[in-house]
Amino acid sequence: MGFITSQLLHIFTLILFIIIPSSLAQSNSNQFCEAGIGDGCGTGISSSNSKLLIKGGTVVNAHYQQAADVYVEDGIIVAVNPNIRVSDDVTVIDATGKYVMPGGIDPHTHLETDNPFAESVDDFFSGQAAALAGGTTMHIDFVMPVNGSLTAGFEAYEKKAKKSCMDYGFHVVITKWDETVSKEMELMVKEKGINSFKFFMAYKGFDVMVNDELLLEGFKKCKSLGALAMVHAENGDAVYEGIKKMIELGITGPEGHALSRPAVLEGEATARAIRLADFVNTPLYVVHVMSIDAMEEIAKARKSGQRVIGEPVISGLALDDSWLWHPDFDIAAKYVMSPPIRKKGHDEALKAALTNGILQLVGTDHCAFNSTQKALGIDDFRKIPNGVNGIEERMHLLWDIMIESGQISVTDYVRLTSTECARIFNIYPRKGAILPGSDADIIILNPNSSFEITAKSHHSRLDTNVYEGRRGKGKIEVTIAGGKVVWENNELKVVPGTGRYIEMAPYSYVFDGIDKKDAFYLNSLQAPVKRAKSSTSNNF
């Protein structure tokens, strides 16, 4: 009976394995497979061999590259050496003339997230499948509290992530402050594998925006827990006034969104968050840096020695705001996100900041809303759900934008797309490296091959793509996640439920020396001053 049960279980597992050929993914409806059910789904088996040899490629890590083979067993990299010899039971992948690199880690995504007007269309299966097709093998999503409760929010996201097909982690958003939230933050760090908390300085009127008092309390708590404080930096009060001004002027289209929240308001909020973090003496991570204004505040702080991390997103590097003035609403609306995509010039400055180290890593802020959802704001930009795609496109676009132009090296590319994220969130060298003992999350990139981005061929459920028609050099031909080949020959081979939640420990390297800086501050105060009590009295 046990044998029969195990055989049935084995057969059922095989049925669940999904192959999504690119030809099937080209349907505009993008009816994605759910546990093997749905239009456009095939069934098949990816390489079940737990032993892989990637042979003949150039292995690239964040600090060096070498000609070497990579041997993988049971999801772990076992050896990285030239001319590794293996037995016949090992699957061999030829990487001659290609780069073998750590899979990408996207630090900023919003899968299956609720907006006041709609829910994003990509869930933890479709979004992750798209990521794998684009060479990203792990992402970190944002847990939104449920009625202010971090625990309820975390449990809700645990359920959403049950269909995951690749590894993932979580940041947690803080929207209010009381003793319960403070205790829940401790629980998240000590028991749930959370080491970062996000604070929205924008979105007035939507129960997420925090004031300076809450920001200070949150920063202090983050510091005490060794957790990284993250901010969405826009001055929410001023943006609210900007929105009212646009409506009064009769500017209700997508361009009103950008006009209502100019770069100066991103710069002000970034500066304020940086100064408050300096006052508390805690590291700060600024998400989706979109403007020169914000970048320059980060540069100034880093030059002074402050621990500030700046994260641009691929849309801010690859696009400019001209699309928001397009006469076709459907086209213009798909580019609405916050902070908004900026005028030409900001993109070049952000790329230069990546080159010289002012900004440290590249995310996506992938938050996909389809054209029907975007049309909710056809007469009022305030109702357009904010968000663009990028989880599948980031790795290709960054290679084409930064490598092909000579602005960064191949090792820099690995640092910006994978290694630095792993270091910041304390999962290096398990992730972000091609080293013995690291997880076998690996991509093989052909620098001589080309890519093209279209909504017809992408793997998101989205019916549009903000990078539509973009072509470039450098194609990811193979993605290996957890030692399994999941993307090869333009075919996805993914299984719902196989993704793992990756716990992230507190006190990453960005906290090194914080205690010494605190001690130096206390020793420098020369206070309190000892004074003799006054002998005079005030008798009236």
Q: Is the pLDDT of residue 328 over 70?
A: yes
The residue with greater pLDDT, 257 or 36, is 257
Q: What is the pLDDT of residue 263?
A: 98
pLDDT-derived band at 117 (thresholds 50, 70, 90) equals: confident
Q: What is the pLDDT of residue 538?
A: 60
Q: Is the pLDDT of residue 243 over 50?
A: yes
Please identify which residue in the block is written with the tokens 């792993």: 422
Q: Is the pLDDT of residue 207 over 80?
A: yes
**Contact (Cβ atoms closer than 8 angstroms) between residue 160 and residue 112:** yes
Helix (H, G, I), strand (E, B) or coil at 401: helix
Q: What values do phi and psi take at 135, rounded to 5?
A: 90, 10
The reported pTM is 0.92
Q: Is the pLDDT of residue 540 over 90?
A: no
Q: Is the pLDDT of residue 23 over 50?
A: no
CA separation (Å) from 140 to 38, 105, 503? 27, 8, 11
18 Cβ contact list (under 8 Å, min separation 6): 33, 36, 41, 42, 43, 44, 492, 493, 494, 495, 496
Q: Is the pLDDT of residue 270 over 80?
A: yes
What tokens does 256 get?
């009103």
- The C-alpha atoms of residue 274 and residue 113 are separated, in whole angstroms, by 28
Dihedral angle of Cα 247, 249, 254, 257, to the nearest 10 degrees: -60
Q: What is the pLDDT of residue 530?
A: 93
pLDDT digits (tens, 9 = 90+) for 361-384: 999 999 999 999 999 999 999 999
Rounded mean pLDDT of 406-412? 98
pLDDT digits (tens, 9 = 90+) for 424-472: 999 999 999 999 999 999 999 999 999 999 999 999 999 999 999 999 9
**Contact (Cβ atoms closer than 8 angstroms) between residue 250 and residue 260:** no
* Helices and strands: H and E segment counts in the chain: 18, 20
pLDDT-derived band at 115 (thresholds 50, 70, 90) equals: confident
pLDDT digits (tens, 9 = 90+) for 118-155: 999 999 999 999 999 999 999 999 999 999 999 999 99
